[in-house]
Amino acid sequence: MDKINLLQQRKQKILQAGKDVRKDIDSLIDEDSFVEFSTFSFSENDFYGENAEGEGVVTGFATIEGYPFYIVAQNSAVLSGGVSKANCEKISKCLNQAEKSSTPVIYLLSSLGVRVGEGVNVLEGLASLILKASQLKGTVPQYLVVNGDVYGQLAILAGLCDFTFFIDGKSVLTANSPLVISAQSGVNVKKSEVGGASALDKAQLTSFTVKNIGEVKENIIKINELISTAVIDNDELNTVCAELDKNTNIKNLLKIFDDNSYVEIGATYSSEIKCILGRIGGIAVAAAIFDEKDGVKLNSYNVRKLKDFAEFVCCYNLPYITFVNTLGIQADMGVNNSLVLREIGEYVSILDCIDSGKISVTYGKAIGLGYTLFVAKNMGYDYSFAFANSKIALFDDVQGAEIEFSSEKNIDKAKLESRYADEHSDPINAAKCGYIDNIIQPSLVRQYLIASLQMLLK
């Protein structure tokens, strides 16, 4: 028997079975850098009476722009990407290697669920896989690409990964089959309306929506470079953001970051808060920007977004900058009877664990709880700055103060009006007490931030 010829035939069979997913891998990685392992992993599927080529998943390691990554790519051409115990074991083996070498992991998932013939065996496999992915969280970055339909328990990985990518017109992510969800809900809708990126705006799972694998690669390169290299040379340290003196909108605020250095995480949900990874003066930072003209009102969803972002910041030791324009908790029945207070409590706990530096910049309003959480020196901010035209106060306006004190008899409205008039909400009052390090001209904020970040570098 010609063993070499037989090996080539077997390889060709596996390559043919996974030709599409291998094209996706090639689109993601440096040319000819992929090294596959467990190539000949097979298990007999008694229910279907056929072998699953390579267990329906391709695993190995490769480089992207010279950086190493482990790759897990499900092959939907094999039994619809059906999950088996051996399938899970093959993926877990890859994750174990990633953990040992502290190497990031990229998942390309496409699966219609478990293989029916597996019985409880596959559930044990899934438990092992999910636990291992959980153990990697905060240790090595995990990137998940919803590379088609992903149904069932494997969708839990989206809740464990640091970044999840949805591809326009292709990605669907659901905990159960969309048909089952539609039937149980009494509606007849397309699968994209159940598990597409726009349909999951409350789930807070969509880090990025992209057009193709090429865009996935671009974002992974940016993120990986930011968390791998804290500082790079930058000659433009004294850049003035002149536009900010005229308008402190999001477009002008983003000019504080180095050119082409930043990415926004989770743009499709709670968009009133922008979570940004980027560089300022060559220094890698994470920034939360409150983007609402009259001030962001907090609810359980946008605080959860902040909490998840702060957790990532804490794990990867990035300086954390908060651009503040918030009024505190939204005053309505629904928000009051929600998880908002619990989410705020957990956010504070995570914030306290960030020891890579915290900077607050009040560019709009810091009212009540908005000040306490995002500006107060006693919340642990290393540096606090405020724009000269910002507003720091206990209440947003005179009317708010009157409502707050409405139960008191003989309230002196004239006194309230004097205390909470705009001129008495000037940030200079907080600065006089030593709570604000400096009142700054908006156009100079980048210079102040660079100086502060340089002092925080360890």
pLDDT in tens, 313-363: 999 999 999 999 999 999 899 999 999 999 999 999 999 999 999 999 999
Band (212; pLDDT cuts 50, 70, 90): very high
Q: How far apart are the first and last CA of the chain?
A: 63
The Cα–Cα gap between 367 and 324 comes to: 10
Give helix 19-28 / helix 213-228 axis angle, nearest 10°: 40
Q: Check if the beta carbon of residue 374 is closer than 8 Å to that of residue 322.
A: yes
Name which of 50-64, 285-299, 355-369 the model is least confident about. Answer: 50-64
Name which of 100-104, 126-130, 276-280, 409-413 the model is least confident about. Answer: 409-413
Q: Which of 350, 221, 355, 373 is nearest to 296 (CA)?
A: 373
Band (421; pLDDT cuts 50, 70, 90): low
Band (262; pLDDT cuts 50, 70, 90): very high
Query: What pLDDT shows up at residue 21?
Result: 83
Express each pLDDT in 151-164 by its tens digit: 999 999 999 999 99
Query: What pLDDT shows up at residue 42?
Result: 55
Band (178; pLDDT cuts 50, 70, 90): confident
Name which of 7-11, 75-79, 189-193, 233-237 the model is least confident about. Answer: 7-11
Query: What pLDDT shows up at residue 49?
Result: 46
In this structure, the strands spanning 383-387 and 358-367 are: parallel
Give Cα separations from 86 to 57, 83, 100, 128, 456 (angstroms).
Answer: 10, 8, 21, 11, 47
Band (103; pLDDT cuts 50, 70, 90): very high
Query: What pLDDT shows up at residue 394?
Result: 80
The Cα–Cα gap between 191 and 436 comes to: 51
Mean pLDDT estimate for the chain: 86
Element (H, E) at 27: helix 19-28
Element (H, E) at 11: helix 3-17
Query: What pLDDT shows up at residue 238?
Result: 82
Neighbours of 173 (CB within 10 A): 27
Express each pLDDT in 377-395 by its tens digit: 999 999 999 999 899 888 7
Express each pLDDT in 213-236 by its tens digit: 999 999 999 999 999 988 988 877
Express each pLDDT in 264-291 by its tens digit: 999 999 999 999 999 999 999 999 999 9
Q: What are the residues whose beta carbons fall under 8 Å from the beta carbon of 93, sequence distance 6 or more?
A: 37, 38, 59
Read off the DSSP letter of residue 258: P
Counting every residue written for the chain, the total comes to: 458
Query: What pLDDT shows up at residue 398?
Result: 46
CA 130 to chain centre: 19
Structure tokens at 226: 């930011």
Q: Which of 261, 244, 420, 234 is nearest to 323 (CA)?
A: 244
- Can you tell me the mean pLDDT for 18-26? 83
- Can you tell me the mean pLDDT for 187-191? 84
Q: Does the pLDDT at position 446 exceed 80? A: yes
Query: What pLDDT shows up at residue 277?
Result: 98
Name which of 38-47, 191-200, 243-252 the model is least confident about. Answer: 38-47
Q: Which of 117, 34, 131 is nearest to 89 (CA)?
A: 131
Query: What pLDDT shows up at residue 423?
Result: 47
- Can you tell me the mean pLDDT for 198-227? 95
E strands, 202-339, in order: 208-210, 263-265, 273-280, 283-290, 296-298, 320-329
Exposure b/e, 413-442, CB count within 10 A at least 16 = b: eeebeeebeeeebbbeebbeeebbbebbeb
Virtual CA dihedral for 46, 48, 53, 57, nearest 10 degrees? -90
Band (429; pLDDT cuts 50, 70, 90): low
Q: Does the pLDDT at position 48 exceed 50? A: no
